Amino acid sequence: MSGADGYSVLFEPVQIGPVSARNRFYQVPHCNGMGHLRPQAEAAMRAMKAEGGWAVVSNQETEIHPTSDLSPYAENRLWDERDIPALRLMTDAVHAKGSLAAIELAHNGHHAQNHLSRAPLLGPSELALQTAYPKQARAMDKSDIREFRKWHRAAARRSREAGFDIVYVYAGHHMTLPHHFLLPQFNDRTDEYGGSLENRVRLTRELLEETREEVGDECAIALRFAVDEMLGSDGMQAQEEGRAVVELLADLPDLWDVNVADWSNDSATTRFEPRDGFQTSYIEFVKQVTSKPVVGVGRFTSPDLMVSLVRKGILDFIGAARPSIADPFLPNKIKEGRIEGIRECIGCNICVSSDALGVPIRCTQNPTMGEEWRRKWHPEIIESRGKEEAALVVGSGPAGLECAMQLARRGYDVTLAEAKQELGGRVLQESGLAGLSAWRRVTDHRIYDLQQRGNVQLFTDSSLSASEVVELGIPNVFLATGASWRRDGRGKSAFRGVSIESGSQVFTPDDIMSGVMPGDGPIMVYDDDQAYLGGVLADHLAQAGREVVFVTPASMVSPFTELTLEQVKVQRGLLEKGVRLVLSQTLVEITPGLAKVQCAYTGREQSVECASVVLVTQRARETALYEELRNLPDKPLTSLELIGDAANPGLIADAVYSGHMAARNFERDAGDIDREFFRREIVSLESA
């Protein structure tokens, strides 16, 4: 199948209860770190999805009452009518682009912590919070359940007032009361809300019925439900109770939005779940049981797979969270046959990390994500060039590629020079490691784009000196010269580095990623970066059959990956491969065959035998060319800018963003740029 015609099935309208979706592309609810704290940013971001062709655009979990207070996280909020205007911003903006707006009503039970409201915590049973905070939920009595149903009913009514077309009942991700009631791992009640499945599903059924009573004439009712907990026989399974739930409620909602629990499984990264459509085997039964339309997810980016899922009767709607973040215009690009123009999600969960930090969403592939309101960045539109005509970009890592691509889109003649033999910089290196191959999409997308353009010249194997740069005669220069991993042990735990005796076998991540393999004997991976790379390298070396000891000042492997929902899988993976973990220890000295480490708590020293050490600590910016150029006496350049890791080492997402920003801001008024930098949403001082 190929060409836009073959995809026409994806663009058929589909009825959902009383409302009609113009095509089969459905942005399921997903968090974005904007929510009630940044409603204008949220509205602009959701509207961009609608503009890009998503027929349904959902918001994110929406607190319905102070007893479900997720502060400090910035989800949506609909405690009472005062919250309606902020939500109305989104529905108006989505409607203006011709799409339906959906709201995900949520009461988070003991998943909420009520730190702002200080309200009592509620649950089906007596439940301790999962976080290390000593608070417990009380088992709801009958009057609590009646109250909760009233709150949900009122929230449904207010959803309609706010202009939503689809109202969710949310029983998924282990995150909400209806889900907690459904699952034996949270519910040990002995009344009519506990025990049998009929009893455990009662609350969900009541919410569906009551939501329909309130808004069913105008709004569709969606049920978001996790058919499988991915715990095997220790949890609900798709072919057992998961199916039975769908059978019990089959035609009660107007739409089934089905996935797997918990969130880390639903939103699995490519590192641990490389297959697009990885949820299909769990959810494919649903359409056999219900006559209502079904939406499912699975990091779909291939239109052929989408068509096949519809044709096979597995899905009515192609659901997406992450692919719609990486490319809000995915539907339109398929419709217009611009498949190669799709920015495919790399499954890195940097989007999730923003929500987990309580800050606005960002995306590795799509640097405009989260900037639709603040910087008015449009993923598909960029201003044409001004009076300057040409630009040189040095370095083809994520910052350089993105900068070059956007400059080319603006109409400049772009020359991109890469010192190495292949384009891609750190993405090329990192995507060669175990589990990270999908990250290569970051460079593939951009290299392909650049190759199609007549105004771009790409040079590899082209290391440039300052005088060579000047000789090129291109007056505008962007330096994306990157950063290299330090070899001296300097890092967050050792500002002055570590003592390294000569003769010690010391390697950096750059060495390993370039294919160097340390000689025989145990390899210590010392991770003072504590992000992802140390864990990936240890895994990579273990998979290559090497004996690995992983040492870190952190109390766990790769704590950063808690933000990407991967940490448990990362540490499990290393343990299962026999990697020895030495946690909460700081490296102080390396001698041939032996490393001295110090307890991060007591300072007590111990020795760890290892033939070699890979130091994952801190990066050194490559700024020599920049310093040379900026100090040239005769100032031959019109503009010179350092971008990406060479300016501020960070994530690949940060490098792409930096390259994008430099290209956008080139030739713009400095005052305008500065004003955007300060743009933010501010709390009202009106008395409440």
The residues in 624-663 that bind a copy of itself, with binding defined as CB under 8 A, are 647-651, 654, 657
Using omega within 30 degrees of 0 as the cis cutoff, is the peptide bond preceding 262 cis? yes
The C-alpha atoms of residue 267 and residue 356 are separated, in whole angstroms, by: 13
Active site residue 345: no
Which 256-275 positions form the footprint of a copy of itself (CB under 8 A)? Answer: none
Residue 369 binds a copy of itself (CB under 8 A): no
Q: What DSSP letter does each residue of 442-505 carry, written as one string?
A: HHHHHHHHHHH-TTEEEESS----HHHHHHHT-SEEEE---EEE-SS--BTTBTT--EE-TT--
Residue selected from 14, 430, 618, 664 as contacting a copy of itself according to rule CB under 8 A: 618
Residue selected from 232, 602, 631, 669 as contacting a copy of itself according to rule CB under 8 A: 602
Q: Which of 30, 36, 174, 540 is catalytic?
A: 174
User: To the nearest whole angstrom, how small is the minimum distance from the Cβ of residue 687 to a copy of itself?
Assistant: 7
Cβ proximity to a copy of itself, 101 vs 309, nearer residue: 101
Residue 516 binds a copy of itself (CB under 8 A): no
User: What is the largest distance, in Å, between two alpha-carbon atoms of the chain?
Assistant: 85
User: To the nearest whole angstrom, how small is the minimum distance from the Cβ of residue 362 to a copy of itself?
Assistant: 8
The C-alpha atoms of residue 332 and residue 336 are separated, in whole angstroms, by: 6
Active site residue 170: yes
The C-alpha atoms of residue 685 and residue 688 are separated, in whole angstroms, by: 9
Question: At 115, is the secondary structure helix, strand, or coil?
Answer: coil
Q: x/- contact string, 169-208, with a copy of itself (CB under 8 A)?
A: ----------------xx-x--------------------
Residue 426 binds a copy of itself (CB under 8 A): no
Exposed (0-12), middle (13-18) or buried (19+): which is 576, by Cβ within 10 Å? exposed
Residue 671 binds a copy of itself (CB under 8 A): no
Active site residue 191: no
Pick from 145, 286, 172, 159: nearest CA to 216: 159
User: To the nearest whole angstrom, how small is the minimum distance from the Cβ of residue 150 to a copy of itself?
Assistant: 12
Cβ proximity to a copy of itself, 429 vs 530, nearer residue: 530
Q: What is the bridge-based pairing of β-strands 585-591 and 594-599?
A: antiparallel
The C-alpha atoms of residue 223 and residue 201 are separated, in whole angstroms, by: 12
Residue 243 binds a copy of itself (CB under 8 A): no
Per rule CB under 8 A, count of chain residues that contact a copy of itself: 96
Which 549-578 positions form the footprint of a copy of itself (CB under 8 A)? Answer: 554-556, 558-560, 568, 571-572, 575-576
Cβ proximity to a copy of itself, 58 vs 67, nearer residue: 67
Cβ proximity to a copy of itself, 325 vs 554, nearer residue: 554
Q: x/- contact string, 295-314, with a copy of itself (CB under 8 A)?
A: --------------------
- Are residues 403 and 662 in contact, defined by beta-carbon separation less than 8 angstroms? yes
User: To the nearest whole angstrom, how small is the minimum distance from the Cβ of residue 599 to a copy of itself?
Assistant: 7
Residue 85 binds a copy of itself (CB under 8 A): yes
Residue 338 binds a copy of itself (CB under 8 A): no
Residue 532 binds a copy of itself (CB under 8 A): yes
In the block, which residue shows the tokens 């750190």?
426
The C-alpha atoms of residue 621 and residue 483 are separated, in whole angstroms, by: 4
User: To the nearest whole angstrom, how small is the minimum distance from the Cβ of residue 493 to a copy of itself?
Assistant: 9
Pick from 481, 411, 485: nearest CA to 641: 481
Residue selected from 15, 117, 455, 543 as contacting a copy of itself according to rule CB under 8 A: 117
Please give the structure tokens belonging to residue 366.
């799509």
Q: Which of 7, 31, 345, 403 is catalytic?
A: 31
Residue selected from 599, 609, 624, 673 as contacting a copy of itself according to rule CB under 8 A: 599
Which among 64-72, 163-171, 238-246, 462-470 is the span making contact with a copy of itself, rule CB under 8 A?
64-72
The C-alpha atoms of residue 656 and residue 660 are separated, in whole angstroms, by: 6
Residue selected from 215, 236, 382, 533 as contacting a copy of itself according to rule CB under 8 A: 533
Active site residue 276: no
CA angle, 284 as apex, 281 and 287 as ends, to 5°? 170
Count CB neighbours of 680 within 10 A: 11
Residue selected from 6, 18, 66, 337 as contacting a copy of itself according to rule CB under 8 A: 66
Pick from 332, 268, 272, 240: nearest CA to 48: 332
Q: What are phi and psi of 669, to 5 degrees?
A: -65, 130
Residue selected from 190, 454, 671, 688 as contacting a copy of itself according to rule CB under 8 A: 688
Residue 536's alpha-carbon distances to 104, 226, 652, in angstroms, are 35, 30, 15
The C-alpha atoms of residue 478 and residue 565 are separated, in whole angstroms, by: 35
Residue 354 binds a copy of itself (CB under 8 A): yes
- Just list the catalytic residues: 31, 170, 174, 266
